[in-house]
Chains A and B, each alone.
Chain A
């Protein structure tokens, strides 16, 4: 089963993403802060990660940086889904190695599923956002 880790401090979003992705046949594990996300990713070795940027304990930017510096996790594609809307935040996440960056306010759960599918099909090739 294809495994997805969803890391977001918003319980509502975690529930929404988990329910939607499970329905599509994905195995889903969730984390509510950056430290928990790193632990979970290292133990679960997911096929793909959906990551928020502003989280307690460890920010998503730092999670992304650490993942990409670790040979055990650097190849796992990361989709960033954030409420940060400034171009510089998007650019920083993409520079750190995210394959795609989306604004939560303009992104449906159906689009999340499509993006996960498309990213898994394309490997690490950046997707348009």
Chain B
């Protein structure tokens, strides 16, 4: 597998999300991420999603997985925006709810880093401990951007 080039993590309103695969996808909300991760990374080392696990989740139904990925790519930016708003407004229940939704959304893809960050954020919301949410948010947004970009560009249909 060739190395994976991650997209610049600036997801913009109705503008397209740019990535190296050349494709674009509409994104309903503006999400500003804190850094540009436009760098080469060996895919084998730092892949954000386990496509084999995702295929096991859907019992190897690739057509269904393609539909689910499409839904994920449509819904994930909105959930991230909800989380970002909840963090800004110090809304503990909103943080908990949005983070919980995000955690569930990546569960089937076995996106462990994203799942773990969402679980951590959910825990902070549940505990009402909002002092750390602003620090955690950029890392979470970045990881979910990696998941979205990977699912857009990954040649997962050929995966075993």
Q: Spot the interface stretch: B15-23, B51-59, B127-135.
A: B51-59
Tell me the dominant secondary structure on chain B's binding face.
helix
**Across-interface contacts of B115 in A (CB, < 8 A):** 105
Pair A83/B75 contact, Cβ less than 8 Å: no
Known: A11-B71, A11-B75, A105-B107. A16 touches B101 (CB 8 A): no
B97 within 8 A of A: yes
- Which residue of B61, B68, B100 is within 8 Å of A83 (Cβ)? B100
Contact of A54 among B58, B61, B100 (CB under 8 A): B100
In this assembly, does B35 line the interface, its C-beta being within 8 Å of a C-beta of chain A? no
In this complex, what residue of A is CB-closest to B69? A12
Interface size on B (CB < 8 Å)? 22
A11 to B125, CA, bound (A): 23
- In angstroms, Cα B75 to Cα A16, docked, is 15
Give every chain B residue within 8 A of A75 (Cβ-Cβ).
none
Q: How many residues of A contact B (CB 8 A)?
A: 20
A118 to chain B: which residues have CB within 8 Å?
none
Are B58 and A16 neighbours in the complex by a CB distance under 8 Å?
yes
- Interface presence of B104 (CB below 8 A): yes
Verify if A25 is at the interface (C-beta below 8 Å from B): no
Q: Is the CB of B97 within 8 A of A12?
A: no
Interface residues of chain B, those whose CB is within 8 Å of chain A, are 56-59, 61, 64, 67-68, 71-72, 75, 97, 100-101, 103-105, 107-108, 110, 115, 119
